[in-house]
Structure 1
């Protein structure tokens, strides 16, 4: 390259972790959050972007703000914890942002696990809370194992063989502490992709890959934007994914007195109605089974064995849950969070409407 030739600019602008956190917090403060709650929401949503969950971080901010403004979500919820047994609690989220409600739920579950060995916390009257991994990584970092699930905030999947959307993506996440290796963090939807991923695909003008969506009237694949509305997401593993979504919905929704099935409010289409989103988180104190350092060392040993496993011809090396996520967090903490031009335009519009500073970004 000639010395006089300017360096190529990045195709996508990037925002620092601090800038993204500040922008999100400023937006929430403007619509009525306390300073502490705005900061918590900003931190967790930015963490989603740092980990590569681009459809669940700052991308969701405009929708959250619109729900608050429309009266569908409380900016200052009264979150009530009812400990019903030594290892069980039920939280009423007061119709607050899911990130705030689940922060309380994880803290409660970890405290009970430290006391009794295990804590199961159910949640009702909550809202969308971002990626499931957010709520298992904290316990794993503290040397505890965790499991989390939620009834998705809209139904986009049919029961296996059906043509009516009665199930959501209903994700499940596991967090398992390791030693020198990255903690094992598995976060999967029970559909092939989340609906947020579909929305991000559309926002960025990218086609819909075959195998994500089908037309409920014909069963034919949906691969263009015009056919997305009313289409159905396909489950992972055929009937198995549909069955897992059903079981998780009963545990996260019905068991907690929260919405499931026909009761789910589509937060994509309805900004004003309370969703009564249900979640659960289970935290297990590893040290109740064997010394934590022994467990960490064994997990590291198994990770090394699996990583060294021979790959199929033409396949990349074996990748384990948590490795790519840890790499993305390192890379994005260093280089910034990608902000595609269509998203930047939406966020700038939100900032101007709320009267806050626009998101600082480079590129």
Structure 2
């Protein structure tokens, strides 16, 4: 396993995006989101996504020259058309627009349609906290992979949710979750590393659990039945809530914005049609509710109480949402981002096909 400095990973992503014809500013925003995702230990949504993005590009599903365009605008809301580009520049634009509206009106909500995969939702929630406001993000997904509780056919995507709030002394509170038990791209990471997946992540067309990661990838991406279980598992005791959560995200991200819903759109799609992924971004200025201030101080106090909870294992202190990612980021900034040999092989092939320089090693 090669450990690669973050700046070298950033340069590798930029080289490929530039070779594909993406404008310098759009590529810089995309690379920033992807590298930050890898630094936080979310290997499923960073550098390894270049493999999937190459497929989308070759299939005519991406317009890497498109820029986000505001098509509806009001004091507190906006609708953005992403032009079928990757979701990273669209999401960055929309989150920052929502922040500006929140600072002017107390709250800002921005929907995005005609977009694509945008990486880790938590990255954009952190943009909001960096500006001193609360961030809330949802996104639909291009791949239909979530099997409803008691069902056999996938009908929803991983449909992530992120929420972040700024503190003063402590790190921001950052919750970033999928409405599935696991994101499909995390299964990809297990496959790249040749590791079995935990039982309960993926089921086949008969509802039987799968632990072989290569087989799981076939079920998720190539077969009509089976898929990833909803958050809470396959059983009705918990999974129906995860499936309902995924449906809520779909409503905010796609039904509200006019973006696509896979089970309806996919049978009608023609080769080269854009995926039309939808996102939803909301920013809230705490001073709209507490003009005298105090929100950040109270959140600090809450986080302090949570951290001070006696741990079940003294060697494993209690953590708050956002802590594991922040701690992993510190480790990877110092020691490098792990790149497994299988991913290196894929990246060398992408560079050869695109004409981009390979940057992850000195040979």
Same fold (TM over 0.5): yes
Q: Which stretch of the first structure deviates more once superposed, 336-345 or 310-319? A: 310-319
Alpha-carbon shift at residue 301 of structure 1 (Å): 1.2
Separation of aligned partners in 1, 2:351 and 2:106: 45
What is the aligned partner in structure 1 of residue 251 from structure 2?
250
Is 2:299 aligned against 1:311? no
- 1:199 offset after TM fit, Å? 1.1
The 2-side partners of 1:129 and 1:173 are apart by: 13
Contact 1:67 1:271 (8 Å CA) reproduced? no
Pair 1:144-2:133 in alignment:
yes
CA separation of 1:186 and 1:54: change in aligned 2, threshold 3 A: same
1:277-292 equivalences under 5 Å are: 277-290=277-290
Please report how far the alpha carbon of residue 261 of structure 1 lies from its aligned counterpart in structure 2 after TM superposition. Answer: 4.2
The alignment partner of 1:253 has SS state of helix
In terms of mean alpha carbon deviation, does 81-90 or 239-248 score higher?
81-90
Q: Secondary structure at the residue paired with 2:43?
A: coil
Evaluate the alpha carbon distance shift between residue 313 and residue 334 of structure 1 in structure 2; reply closer, same or farther with a 3 A threshold: closer
TM norm structure 2? 0.91
Q: Which residue is equivalent to 1:9?
A: none
Partner in structure 2 of residue 220 of structure 1:
208
Give yes or no for the alignment of 1:259 onto 2:247. Answer: no
Q: Say if 1:283 and 1:87 are closer, same or farther in 2 by CA, change over 3 A.
A: same
Question: CA 1:313–1:344 in structure 2 vs 1: closer, same or farther (change >3 Å)?
Answer: closer
The 3 A distance-change label for structure 1 pair 264 and 135 is: farther
- Give, in whole Å, the separation in 1 of the partners of 2:244 and 2:54: 34
* TM superposition shift of 1:216: 2.3
**Secondary structure at 1:282's aligned position in 2?**
strand
Seen in structure 2, the aligned counterparts of structure 1 residues 173 and 226 have a Cα distance that, compared at 3 Å, is closer
Deviation at 1:26, TM superposition (A): 1.2
Is 1:211–2:217 an aligned residue pair?
A: no
The CA deviation at 1:273 is 3.3
Farther-moved stretch of structure 1 (155-164 vs 279-288): 155-164
* CA root-mean-square deviation: 2.1
What is the CA–CA distance in structure 2 between the aligned matches of 1:331 and 1:362, rounded to whole Å?
23
Q: Distance in 2 between matches of 1:128 and 1:265?
A: 16
Cα distance in 2, alignment partners of residues 225 and 195 from structure 1: 11
